[in-house]
Amino acid sequence: MRTWLRHHRQAFALSLAKLLAHKPATLLNALVIGVALALPAGGYALLANLLSVTQRFAPQPQLSLFLRPEATRPEADAIAARLKADARIATVRFVSRDEALKGLRATEGLADVVAALGQNPLPDAFVIRARDPVPETLEALANDLRKVSGVADAQVDSAWARRLAAIAATGRIATGLLAGLLAVGLVAVTFNTIRLQILTHAEEIEVSRLIGATDGYIARPFYYLGLVQGVAGGLVGLAILWLGLAVLNLGVQDLADSYGSAFRLAFVSTGDSLAMIAFAGLLGWLGSYLSVSIHLRQIS
């Protein structure tokens, strides 16, 4: 076990020495990886921030429950008691037909229309807010409430929530596609970098084989080289993302202040940052693994 750990420690130290020996190339590769990672990460961060703003200011979906015109007040009270006892419902507000007509009459341009009606055509209703405002949950609740005696119909005001969910899903798909395309590019960059390293040390590899070194022992420093290069690129990508959000916040601050808001674009969470670094390291290792697997066979 100690020998295995010593070999890995030596391979890691050797990979760092190779990176430090070619500082300009190392910095350039880290910058390329960082820029490529910052693009999808920036899209993810902007999407998360915009969704948080939209959800903060958008109205919460609600359900309108309309009673039958012949429903009596005791029936309405019984329905109200049933609604309040339902664990899926957060709040219930009763809107009488007279109150609804009064609100309709106060609407600009509708006063003459209401006066021409002669009688009140509006039913009594309940305005309901669910504990879980997910469109699917609201639809299921509406279907159950339509079966209640005395209820004429139940309408779900969740169209905006569905549109928001569709926009978010589209944004996530676009970000995922961009990340996938750039990931292929990052693997190719690491692949080429390790290939050049292998060709540079071709004679050293041949000598190592002659004295009994295994391919695993020879390949290990190159694996660490790709891993460290990927992690360095991930750190650079986070730095670029932080700088980009800081610059954007200069304009966002003026816009938010004009609306009396303290909103600022938030940086990605610690978990997302670590995941980005780990993903970059994995891509670096994958590129080095592919390169080593192919080119070591060509050196005999």
Average pLDDT over residues 131-140: 78
61 phi and psi angles, rounded to 5 deg: -60, 140
| Contact criterion met (CB below 8 Å) for 79 and 150 | yes
Q: Whole-model pTM above 0.85?
A: no
| Contact criterion met (CB below 8 Å) for 178 and 40 | yes
The span from the CA of 245 to the CA of 227, in Å, is 27
| Contact criterion met (CB below 8 Å) for 72 and 112 | no
Q: In this predicted structure, what is the pLDDT of residue 278? A: 92
Q: In this predicted structure, what is the pLDDT of residue 161? A: 65
Question: Residue 162 in 3-state DSSP?
Answer: helix
Average pLDDT over residues 273-299: 84
2 phi and psi angles, rounded to 5 deg: -65, -40
80: confidence class by pLDDT, cuts 50, 70, 90: confident
Of the CA atoms within 13 Å of residue 13, those in its CB half-sphere come to 6
Average pLDDT over residues 100-114: 63
Is it the case that residue 21 has pLDDT exceeding 60? Answer: yes
Beta-carbon count within 10 A of 13 CB: 12
